[in-house]
Homo-oligomer: A and B are copies of this chain.
Amino acid sequence: MPNALDQLREELVIANRILTHEGIVDAFGHVSARHPTDPGRFLISRHRAPELVEPGDLLEFTLDYKPVTPTAFRLYSEGIIHGAIYAARPDVHAVCHHHSPAVLPFCISGTELVPVYHLGAAMGPKVPFWDQQDEFGDTTLLVVKPEEGRSLARALGNNWTVLMRRHGATVAGASIRELVFRTVYGCANAEMQWKAQMQGHVSQLTSGEATMSGSHSTRPGPMERAWDFWERRLRRAGGYPADARPKTARAKDSARRKSNKTVKRSSKRS
């Protein structure tokens, strides 16, 4: 019987691969989750493309991005982004940093990203803009120092998505599935907004619509529906677990999954 930590590792691996398969991270970008029982720790992969991450690659870190167990593995240079957000936001249990082609134009042009359709509101009603240059001058644009991480976390504030000038975006979620949902539909929103802007007019959601639809779509029902879809797409494309795990693990997983499905069934509409 898998314990909570094993289940979280498995889910975090799938999140890494879904976000690759949906075109949001590539060789770079990373995804993390807070430890399921120790809120002072989080898990993130060693230095690998998210597409290649396997359960054994997920290492534990303290919130100041020190490995709990000494490791010889090369590590991501920007893990402090994750730690700083977990430290500032107790409600956040998963974080993704990416350079998606959907949001980059906004980071470069300085255009404000606003919710333009109901699902897009999942990125949050307000998306702040952070410019590393403001506080730190010329850098590699990577967020590597503790004070850079804290500055970014402050910019994020109580929102769910923050744009980073000429760099990318960082997204937070109350769970791994919520994080993936907010990330994918935030990027979809960016694409739609860009195309509408080209047509000369962007009518954004009213404040009420943004709050209502954002809350509605991040309930368990819609999030499960979306996760099941992304996972099916990923598996069909051979993205998981073919490359990563032995067949026996795969069979067990499939059994577990089926029993989850049965439990999940309810009569609510969503």
A contact residues vs B (CB 8 Å cutoff): 26-28, 47-49, 51-52, 71-77, 79, 99, 101, 104-111, 116-119, 133, 137-142, 144, 165-168, 188, 191-206, 208-209, 212-213, 216, 221-222, 225-226, 228-230, 232-233, 236-239, 243, 264-270
Known A-B contacts A51-B232, A236-B238; A140 and B197 likewise in contact (beta carbons under 8 Å): no
Q: Are B206 and A138 in contact (CB under 8 A)?
A: yes
Q: Are A105 and B199 in contact (CB under 8 A)?
A: yes
Q: Are A101 and B191 in contact (CB under 8 A)?
A: yes
CB distance from A48 to the nearest CB of B (A): 6
Q: How far is the CA of A14 from the CA of B269 in the complex (A)?
A: 24
Residues on B with beta carbons closer than 8 Å to the beta carbon of A266 = 72, 74
Q: How far is the CA of A197 from the CA of B111 in the complex (A)?
A: 11
Q: List 8 A-B contacts (CB under 8 A).
A: A27-B229, A52-B229, A101-B191, A107-B117, A133-B206, A133-B209, A144-B269, A236-B239
CB distance from A34 to the nearest CB of B (A): 21
Residues on B with beta carbons closer than 8 Å to the beta carbon of A188 = 101
Q: Are B71 and A267 in contact (CB under 8 A)?
A: yes
Closest to A209 in B: B138
Instruction: Specify how many copies of this chain sit in the oligomer.
Output: 4
Q: Are B209 and A75 in contact (CB under 8 A)?
A: no
Which of B108, B196, B205, B270 is the one whose CB lies under 8 Å from A105?
B196
Q: Are B116 and A142 in contact (CB under 8 A)?
A: no
Q: How far is the CA of A225 from the CA of B142 in the complex (A)?
A: 16
Known A-B contacts A27-B226, A212-B140, A268-B74; A199 and B197 likewise in contact (beta carbons under 8 Å): yes
Which of B105, B228, B264 is the one whose CB lies under 8 Å from A52?
B228
Most buried by B among A26, A141, A206, A238: A141
Known A-B contacts A195-B105, A238-B236; A209 and B117 likewise in contact (beta carbons under 8 Å): no
Residues on B with beta carbons closer than 8 Å to the beta carbon of A239 = 236
Contacts A48-B228, A109-B196 supplied; 15 other A-B pairs, CB < 8 Å: A26-B229, A28-B222, A28-B226, A47-B269, A49-B229, A104-B117, A104-B192, A105-B198, A108-B193, A109-B201, A110-B201, A118-B166, A133-B209, A140-B213, A166-B204
Closest to A118 in B: B141
Residues on B with beta carbons closer than 8 Å to the beta carbon of A133 = 206, 209
